[in-house]
Amino acid sequence: MGQTLKRTLRENWLYALILIGLIAFPFIVGAITGSSPNGVPRGDRMIMRGESVRWQAVLIELFILSILAMSYNLMFGFTGVVSFGHALFFGLGGYILGLALEYVAMDTGVALVVGVLAGVAVCGVVGLLVGLVSLRLSGVYFAIFTLAIAEMFFIYFGRLPLTRAEDGFPITELPIWLDPAQSRLTFYYVALAFFVAVFLFIRRLMNSPTGAVFKAVRENEDRAQAIGYNTLRYKLIAIILAGMIAALAGMLQILLNKKVGPELLGISNTVNPLLMTIIGGIGTFTGPVVGASGLHLLDTILRESVITIGSLSIRIADVWELILGGIFMITVIIFPQGIVGTWQRRRGKRVG
């Protein structure tokens, strides 16, 4: 027992260190900047003000993006299924939880549990249905088919009067202990827990026999079929699991923003995880997390800064898309394996 624990720790010391860092993060930032990790009390309510609370929000968003990117990588990087409809699951999960919280007359705690379970279940079923009808399509046809389905939902929810069309609706009924505007520290740990759980789940899955078949499907589907695997079934499993995990990310997103709107289903929630995965490293465990963290932190830090060249001053926020486009172009041309992939390859060469 002690032996296994020691070995696990020795192999994963970096992960353990990062995890401890993330757990202590709100307090470290609080100590450095002299702000409380709980926010500022005013009467019996808390006001979310101060550096620690602000950075907690940044990291929560980072966890959400990472979960979304990891789920995309499970399908795209490990199983080789290129879908352009991932935003469908992200948005659907968010909408279902939002509807359960706001539109169903239930105790908020119960509604929360029911909403999460229903959202994950519905996304699983939708993944199954979409996969069943579309997996016989090949390559680009499959990608565009999934894009069309996601886009239909996007347009539909953007016009649906029940969910207030393109304005969306706010989340008002939320248990106080989870409310990111009241107890953000708790919400931070909830998001962190989901993030760690998804990471461990995907790692465990990919080290299992099922994961091995996923990789076989990616490498050569015909051959995997020839040795007797029902590759369609494995691709379906990958799509369903990825859809359910993306639904969780969507739920965290609506809880953090306390708002549900059609932009959740927008194409950027497909494109972002795709690009984050590619920049971080396709088919690696840490790649999507590195890609998501890199882009999100860069965005957060650079957004408010201003560059002055002579008399010309440029706000980074105005040219952010330009920078983003440049990053994509440079990555695919110079580091096609992504950050983690390139690093692993260099290290592999030195060792071998």
Partner 1 sequence: MTSTIRRSSTVAIAVIFCGLLLFTFVRSGGNLGNFGITVLSGLFQGMLLFLVASGLSIIFGLMDILNLAQGTYFMLGAYVAYDIQHAGGVVDLTQTIPNPNVRFPLALIGAVLVGGVLGVVLERGLLRRLYSRPVFQLVLTFGVALVLTEAIKAIWTTTPYSWTEVFGLRTQTFELFGQAFSVYRLFIIGMGFLLIIGIALLLRRTRIGIIIRAGVEDSTMVEALGINVRAVFTLVFTLGCAVAALGGAVAAPFLGASSSLADAFLLQAVAVVVLGGMGSYEGSAVGSLMVGLAIAVAQDATIGTSLSVLPSITPMLVLILILLLRPSGLFGSTR
* Buried b or exposed e, range 266-287, using 16+ CB within 10 angstroms: beebbebbbbbbbbbbbbbbbb
Question: Does 307 participate in binding partner 1 (rule CB under 8 A)?
Answer: no
Which is closer to partner 1, CB of 114 or CB of 271? Answer: 271
Do 154 and 238 touch, CB atoms closer than 8 A? Answer: no
Which is closer to partner 1, CB of 41 or CB of 325? Answer: 325
Per-residue binding letters, 154-183, with partner 1 (x by CB under 8 A):
-xx--xx-----------------------
Question: Does 133 participate in binding partner 1 (rule CB under 8 A)?
Answer: yes
3-class SS letters over 69-138: HHHHHHHHHHCCCCCCCCHHHHHHHHHHHHHHHHHCCCCHHHHHHHHHHHHHHHHHHHHHHHHHHHCCCC
Binding segment for partner 1 among 2-10, 149-157, 292-300, 339-347 (CB under 8 A)?
Answer: 149-157
How many CB atoms within 10 Å of residue 207? Answer: 11
Site for partner 1 in 56-85 (CB under 8 A): 82
Q: What is the helix, strand, coil percentage profile of the chain, to 5?
A: 75, 5, 20
- DSSP line for 285-329: SSHHHHHHHHHHHHHHHHHT-EEEETTEEEEHHHHHHHHHHHHHH
Site for partner 1 in 319-348 (CB under 8 A): 319, 321-322, 324-329, 331-333, 336
Binding segment for partner 1 among 112-120, 128-136, 193-201, 228-236 (CB under 8 A)?
Answer: 128-136
Site for partner 1 in 246-275 (CB under 8 A): 267, 271, 274-275
Report how far residue 174's alpha carbon sits from residue 252's, in angstroms, rounded to the nearest whole number. 13
> In whole angstroms, how large is the CA radius of gyration of the chain?
21
Question: Does 316 participate in binding partner 1 (rule CB under 8 A)?
Answer: no
User: Among 15, 14, 12, which Cα is nearest to 195's?
Assistant: 15
Report how far residue 279's alpha carbon sits from residue 71's, in angstroms, rounded to the nearest whole number. 15
- In the complex, the smallest distance separating the C-beta of residue 269 from partner 1, rounded to whole angstroms, is 15
Which is closer to partner 1, CB of 149 or CB of 192? Answer: 149
Question: Does 152 participate in binding partner 1 (rule CB under 8 A)?
Answer: yes
- In the complex, the smallest distance separating the C-beta of residue 115 from partner 1, rounded to whole angstroms, is 25
Sign of the CA dihedral with 23 first, then 29, 34, and 39 last: negative
Pick from 64, 65, 149, 247: which binds partner 1 (CB under 8 A)?
149
Using CB under 8 A as the binding criterion, the count of chain residues that bind partner 1 stands at 38
Pick from 18, 23, 114, 144: which binds partner 1 (CB under 8 A)?
144
Per-residue binding letters, 4-43, with partner 1 (x by CB under 8 A):
----------------------------------------
Per-residue binding letters, 276-295, with partner 1 (x by CB under 8 A):
--x-----------------
Do 20 and 42 touch, CB atoms closer than 8 A? Answer: no
Q: What are phi and psi of 208, to 5 degrees?
A: -95, 170
- In the complex, the smallest distance separating the C-beta of residue 277 from partner 1, rounded to whole angstroms, is 10
Q: What are phi and psi of 46, to 5 degrees?
A: -110, 140
Pick from 16, 125, 140, 193: which binds partner 1 (CB under 8 A)?
140
Binding positions for partner 1, rule: CB under 8 A: 82, 133-134, 136-141, 144-145, 147-149, 151-152, 155-156, 159-160, 267, 271, 274-275, 278, 319, 321-322, 324-329, 331-333, 336
